Structure 1
Amino acid sequence: MPSTLAVIARMIREGGAHQIVTVNPEFIMRAEREPAFAAVLERADLAIPDGQGMLWAARLLGRPLQARVAGSDLVPLLAEQSAREGHRLFLLGAAQGVAEIAASCLEGRYPGVRIAGTHAGSPRVEDDAESRARIRDSQPDVLLVAYGAPAQDMWIARNQPHLQVPVAIGIGGSLDFIAGVQKRAPLWMREHGLEWLYRLIRQPWRWRRMAVLPVFAGRVLAVRLQGRKEKRCDG
């Protein structure tokens, strides 16, 4: 996590427009079906692993990653960094009023955090102009977009060139957790990679999304086996 925060701080110093995506196995499988979403992921300036499935896949393919970086863990750390370094955050998305509650919660937990603005908006194209105007007027350093994937990532890719915001990140349901609208898994479940199970129990409709996980595992194993075959042939 410290290295991720350091990269974000560098992006802010550099200026320009950087998109960060948090990627889990569901993203990968959805990108296979949706070329536009795949293109957004490929063009992102930084992709960070969100989920034990990504760590497992990376380890199996010989490219181990240090740790998962869930958006729900990243946002509080960005708030802490904001209080320390003066970065301005804008919270976009979630249901009406949730971003404002989340902002108040962050201000209470991290004195000195700089919340440039909040807005629910929507991921619909017809609402883009109003959201862009609010964001530009606020001049944030980091834009946190909570529309869920792939809507949030597509929104950033479509709008960031017009925003003059150095860093934009899709954060899924993070604002709901911060505002207390949704409850996160207990710490012990998070530490053991079981947050997905907790969310499935509380939100049974998620089984449709999680049904792709065995397919993802099969694809990873196939790539692993193919790599072994190629090594034998080269040897």
Structure 2
Amino acid sequence: MNKVNVLGVNFDNKTLNQFQNEFIGRLNEHKSTFIVTANPEIVMSANENPEFMKILTSDADYITADGIGVVKAAKMLKTPLPERVTGYDLFTWLMKVANERNLRVYLIGAKPAVIHAVQEKIARDYPEIQLVGAEDGYFKDDLDLVALRIERTQPDLVFAALGSPRQEKLLAILRKNLLPAVMMGVGGSFDVFSGVVKRAPKFYQEAHLEWFYRLVKNPWRFKRMLVLPKFVNDVRKSRKEQK
């Protein structure tokens, strides 16, 4: 089974290593590639937003299970996924690839201080990357104009940290324009990559409790977490309908 459907979103049934091999192949061939890393929040958002669901079902080339909730949901639906594949892990791996290959990278999103910190880290730790663009997410331009601005720099990799579905809307435009780059929405990855926000310690990652660590550190996220019980309930309903 190549795809696993969780509440209308088709996840690619691949391991991290399989994704990496495919993305290297597409980089080598300069194929326009749009990657979505989806957690339960994104799945629920897509179910409430037809335009967003259309992007996921029609425009995305790959959708990874970025969230243990998605992996558990797939298991509940008797169509298990092999493992969780996070956007952050893919992002940091692709940045290493970019450094090894002297690739052209465009970054867009996050706060001005964060994107500045990311630029400093790249200059220090990834000196072989050609950073052809780095802008914060507080632009007021139309997304089509932003897409044109990105296209002019001829990047090999584009990472958008604008939050969903805004980042996916921008990347879908680039994908429709057939930009020959690997493109991915990375949510809050710039914050962690820059060191402005600390990633959950290994214990929390391995216990699949990163969400709990983030909640403790940022209590304001509680409202966002309320979508999780609804996600579980909808998956249970979906399982009953299958029976």
Letter in structure 2 aligned against 1:99: I
TM-score (normalizing by structure 1): 0.86
TM-score (normalizing by structure 2): 0.84
The question of 1:83 aligning with 2:96 is answered no
The question of 1:18 aligning with 2:17 is answered no
| Deviates most, 116-125 or 176-185 | 116-125
Q: Distance in 1 between matches of 2:147 and 2:199?
A: 30
- Out of 20, 23, 38, the residue aligned to residue 5 of structure 1 is 20
The question of 1:118 aligning with 2:134 is answered yes
Residue 180 of structure 1 corresponds to which residue in structure 2?
195
Letter in structure 1 aligned against 2:207: H
Task: Report how many residues are paired.
Answer: 227
| Deviates most, 82-91 or 26-35 | 82-91
Instruction: Please give the root-mean-square deviation of Cα atoms over the aligned residues, in Å.
Output: 2.1
Letter in structure 2 aligned against 1:3: Q
Q: Distance in 2 between matches of 1:122 and 1:163?
A: 25
**Pair 152,127 (structure 1): closer, same or farther in 2 beyond 3 Å:** closer
Residue 222 of structure 1 corresponds to which residue in structure 2?
237
The question of 1:52 aligning with 2:68 is answered yes
Give the match's secondary structure for 1:148: coil
Q: Distance in 1 between matches of 2:98 and 2:86?
A: 18
Residue 204 of structure 1 corresponds to which residue in structure 2?
219
Cα distance, 1:86 vs structure 2:
3.7
Q: Distance in 2 between matches of 1:165 and 1:119?
A: 20
| Deviates most, 105-114 or 77-86 | 105-114
The question of 1:63 aligning with 2:79 is answered yes
**Pair 97,135 (structure 1): closer, same or farther in 2 beyond 3 Å:** farther
Q: Distance in 2 between matches of 1:123 and 1:51?
A: 29
Q: Distance in 2 between matches of 1:122 and 1:20?
A: 23
Give the match's secondary structure for 1:196: helix
Residue 192 of structure 1 corresponds to which residue in structure 2?
207
- Out of 113, 131, 141, the residue aligned to residue 156 of structure 2 is 141
**Pair 125,116 (structure 1): closer, same or farther in 2 beyond 3 Å:** closer
Q: Distance in 1 between matches of 2:139 and 2:241?
A: 40
Q: Distance in 2 between matches of 1:216 and 1:175?
A: 27
Give the match's secondary structure for 1:181: coil
Unaligned runs of 5+ in 2: 1-15
Letter in structure 1 aligned against 2:90: L
**Is the Cα contact below 8 Å between 1:19 and 1:46 reproduced in 2?**
yes
Residue 233 of structure 1 corresponds to which residue in structure 2?
none
